[in-house]
Amino acid sequence: MLINYGFEITFAVAKPTPIISLLDVHPERRADIKAETPFRSAPLLATSTYIDAFGNQCRRFMAPADEVALRLEGTIADSGRQEPVVPTASEIPVERLPHDVLVFLLGSRYCETDKLSQAAWDLFGAKPPGWGRVQAIADYVHERLTFGYEHARATRTALDAHEERIGVCRDFAHLLITFCRCLNIPARYVNGYLGDIGVPPDPSPMDFSAWVEVFLDNRWYAFDARHNEPRTGRIVVARGRDATDVPLINSFGPHTLKRFKVWTDEVAAPALKAASA
């Protein structure tokens, strides 16, 4: 399967402002990219890239005063298979976890493990450990929160989402992460592209999506409390402890979003045949 992906983002700053963006496809998927336009900006800006502590590709540049438009698009190969469901996957005791996984047990800016620990054990402590317990958490979050773009708020934490019972995909992810960590199950935040592949089209404008990866049986598995079903064609952009670590645009000064467009579409079979003719 081939998937077209891309974005167009325009923002404005009042004075020259340093920017770090996390908009490039994650390094682990770059070998799957079949074609990609260079990162483009208007006005034309010099950019440099580096890999951060979580393995994400970051891009640095100076935004001049006024509007700045960013665009990138490409085509990536995907297996076309739904992400795995492994009911037998087990939890790993903390003392046997790899060193680099331990950070994903700790509380973080949006994931207040100290405030939700008792609730986590009351709700899920009696569940059999492993995949089933994580799925029970995802089911609970899916039912607890009502999704709506109008509910977006940059300061909402996992505790806020649990109490307010509303949110966007990042809130579903933060609450799932927090409950897992409270139960000593490593969980990390992921954002990227998720198109309507193999599911009914969503009439809402497409956005970057947020989901969770949980560490079971010594590997990471995707869980998505918002959609709460296995999906096809996720394209990872960045991972971190929570949304703090993976902002799409991190401006060192105020900025105003002017335009935001994201697309993720499966390449239709006829187009593939024409391309190979």
CA triplet 32, 38, 44: central angle to 5 degrees? Answer: 160
Q: Do 27 and 75 fall into the same domain? A: yes
| Residues above pLDDT 70, as percent of the chain | 97
Whether the predicted pLDDT of 186 surpasses 80: yes
88 in a domain, yes or no? no
85 domain-assigned: no
Q: Is 130 part of a structural domain of the chain?
A: yes
Specify whether 269 is located in the same domain as 133.
Answer: no
Is the confidence at residue 210, as pLDDT, over 70?
yes
Average pLDDT over residues 120-132: 98
Query: Can you tell me the distance from the alpha carbon of 230 to that of 238, in angstroms, rounded to the nearest whole number?
Result: 20
DSSP per-residue string spanning 102-141: GGGGS-BTTB-HHHHHHHHHHHHTTSPSSHHHHHHHHHHH
Dihedral in degrees, nearest 10, Cα atoms 224, 161, 104, 54: 80
SS3 28: helix
Handedness of CA 135, 137, 140, 145 (dihedral sign): negative
Q: For residue 175, give every residue at least 6 positions away whose Cβ sits within 8 Å of its Cβ, in sequence order, or none.
A: 141, 144, 145, 158, 161, 162, 167, 225
Residue found under tokens 């790899």: 98
What gap in Å lies between CA 165 and CA 223, rounded to an integer?
19
61 & 106 share domain? no
Query: How much is the pLDDT for 270?
Result: 60
**Residues 232 and 111 both lie in one domain:** yes
Residue 220: pLDDT over 60: yes
Count of domains in the chain? 2
Total length of the chain: 277
Can you tell me the mean pLDDT for 204-231?
Answer: 96
- The answer on 114 and 211 residing in a single domain is yes
The model's confidence at residue 269, banded by pLDDT at 50, 70 and 90, is: low
Compute the average pLDDT of residues 141-164: 97
pLDDT band at 268 (very low <50, low <70, confident <90, very high): confident
- What's the whole-number mean pLDDT along residues 118-137? 98
Q: What gap in Å lies between CA 59 and CA 66, rounded to an integer?
A: 20
Q: Tokens at residue 101, please?
A: 């996984």
**Confidence at residue 52, expressed as pLDDT on a 0 to 100 scale:** 98
Rounded to an integer, the average pLDDT of 115-127 is 98
Q: Are residues 269 and 237 in the same domain?
A: no
Check which CATH number belongs to the domain holding 144 and give it. Answer: 3.10.620.30
List pLDDT tens digits, range 240-250: 999 999 999 99
Mean pLDDT across the stretch 171-199? Answer: 97
> Once rounded to an integer, what is the mean pLDDT over residues 22-38?
97
> Which sign does the torsion angle of CA 125, 130, 136, 139 carry?
positive
Is 148 in the same domain as 234? yes
Asked whether the predicted pLDDT for residue 275 surpasses 50, the reply is: no
Residue 274 has pLDDT above 80, yes or no: no
Query: Tens digits of per-residue pLDDT, 70-119?
Result: 999 999 999 999 999 999 999 999 999 999 999 999 999 999 999 999 99
Q: How confident is the model at residue 272 (pLDDT cuts 50, 70, 90)?
A: very low
Reply yes or no on whether the pLDDT at 203 is more than 70: yes
Domain that holds residue 56: 2-80+248-276
Residue 273 has pLDDT above 90, yes or no: no
Q: What's the CATH number where 17 sits?
A: 2.60.40.2250
- The whole-chain average pLDDT of the chain stands at 95
Strand partners, 60: 20, 48
Residues 75, 80, 130: CA angle, nearest 5 degrees: 120
pLDDT confidence tier of residue 277, bands split at 50, 70 and 90: very low
Q: E strands of the chain, at which residues?
A: 2-13, 17-21, 33-36, 40-42, 48-51, 57-63, 66-77, 146-147, 166-167, 187-193, 209-216, 219-223, 235-240, 249-251, 256-266
Mean local confidence (pLDDT), 108-132: 98
pTM of this prediction exceeds 0.75: yes
pLDDT value at position 59? 98
Do 143 and 121 share a structural domain?
Answer: yes
**How far apart are the C-alpha atoms of 3 and 227, rounded to whole Å?**
20
Asked whether residue 100 is domain-assigned, the answer is yes
What is the edge-to-edge ordering of all strands in the sheet holding 219-223?
Answer: 219-223, 209-216, 187-193, 235-240
